[in-house]
Amino acid sequence: MAKPKVAFYWCASCGGCEETVVDLNEDILKVADAVDIVFWPVALDFKRKDVEALSDGEIAVSFINGAVRTEEQEEMVKLLREKSGLVVAFGSCAHLGGIPGLANFWDRDAIFERQYKEVPTMENPEGVTPQLKTTVDVGELTLPEFYDTVKTLDQTIEVDYYLPGCPPPPDLILKAVTAILKGELPEKGAVLAPDKALCDTCPRKDSKAEKLSIKEIKRPYEIKIDPEKCFLDQGLICLGPATRSGCGETCIKANMPCRGCFGPVDGVVDQGAKALSMIASVLGIEEEERMTEEDVKRLIEGIIDPAGTFYRFSLPASLLRRKRMEGKGG
């Protein structure tokens, strides 16, 4: 009996999702023995033509990580969708937009201006920026278009399942692969992780005050963090109440608050708005009636970079999606 064909592809992301596959350690041998990897260009010498030569639906499942940022990425994910029975949005960037999605606070021109002309380490006296077409001695060179807007995978193609995390932990990957091979997948569109908030599984949950009241927002470097106490109780912003569990509480165990990479639980439309609502509900709650407008302002200003804090991983998937682009209809 032929092994099911599997593909891996990397769009706009850091590469951590590729590394976490290798982090399966000896279990990767079990996976490799059970499937036929027909496309994994970051690890093996596969080309686009190899995918084009396959029949439609011939690939059992494609694991696609990264947000969609360029014309080439859009073309490849559409091709893989055509050739695959199932597509899994693999990791935070494919699932929600991830860190690359924060670029939606700017447009292509602003990004190029900063990157190629303004950064202190850039030597570019002629102000050259990437062009779609450039004529050289041997002919014309072309580059894929760099889009103004970063998109999640499901804003570009139909996605069957989501495997969250930055990156997805090896145990969830193995469970997902096993479920696919055994045909024991949940309803289409499901996130392949527990549907409960991280706060419910946090090892510090019993230390959380029954009625939280944050008098001052602090940043991790400003205090000595108590490794046993709830981060919110210490004045540190933690997105655990607004974030899906299943990560193994890796950041918590490293004495750092949750940053939200697993996305929201089912039924939450906008993770950032959920987190904002949660934080607003505990800011100075006991003293609320006695706080002046200036006190409230000072407390709120303690949240440095609100957009990057609450939408770090989820801006393209949120109700905001991106900053409005004047004259571009975005």
What average pLDDT does range 243-258 have in this prediction? Answer: 96
Task: Read off the pLDDT of residues 280-323 as tens digits, 9 standing for 90 and up.
Answer: 888 765 555 677 778 778 888 888 899 999 999 999 999 999 98
Percent of the chain at pLDDT > 90 equals 77
Beta strands in the chain (DSSP E): 5-10, 36-39, 59-65, 68-70, 84-90, 133-136, 139-142, 146-151, 161-163
**Contact present, 194 and 243 (Cβ < 8 Å):** no
What is the distance, to the nearest Å, from the Cα of residue 281 to the centroid of all Cα atoms in its chain?
26
Q: How far apart are CA 30 and CA 159, in angstroms?
A: 26
Task: Read off the pLDDT of residues 3-46 as tens digits, 9 standing for 90 and up.
Answer: 999 999 999 999 999 999 888 877 877 787 889 999 999 988 99
Q: How far apart are CA 271 and CA 185, in angstroms?
A: 25
Give 5-99+149-182's CATH code, choosing from 2.40.50.100, 3.40.50.700, 3.40.50.10490, 3.40.50.2000: 3.40.50.700
Quick check: 325 pLDDT over 90? no
**Contact present, 70 and 156 (Cβ < 8 Å):** no
Task: Read off the pLDDT of residues 36-73 as tens digits, 9 standing for 90 and up.
Answer: 999 999 988 999 999 999 999 999 999 999 999 999 99
Please identify which residue in the block is written with the tokens 């024991």: 184
What pLDDT, on a 0 to 100 scale, did the predictor assign at position 287? 55
**What residue ranges do the domains of the chain occupy?**
5-99+149-182, 108-147, 198-310
**Contact present, 243 and 281 (Cβ < 8 Å):** no
What pLDDT, on a 0 to 100 scale, did the predictor assign at position 210? 80
Q: How far apart are CA 15 and CA 314, in angstroms?
A: 18
What average pLDDT does range 120-125 have in this prediction? Answer: 94
What pLDDT, on a 0 to 100 scale, did the predictor assign at position 330? 44
What average pLDDT does range 150-179 have in this prediction? Answer: 96
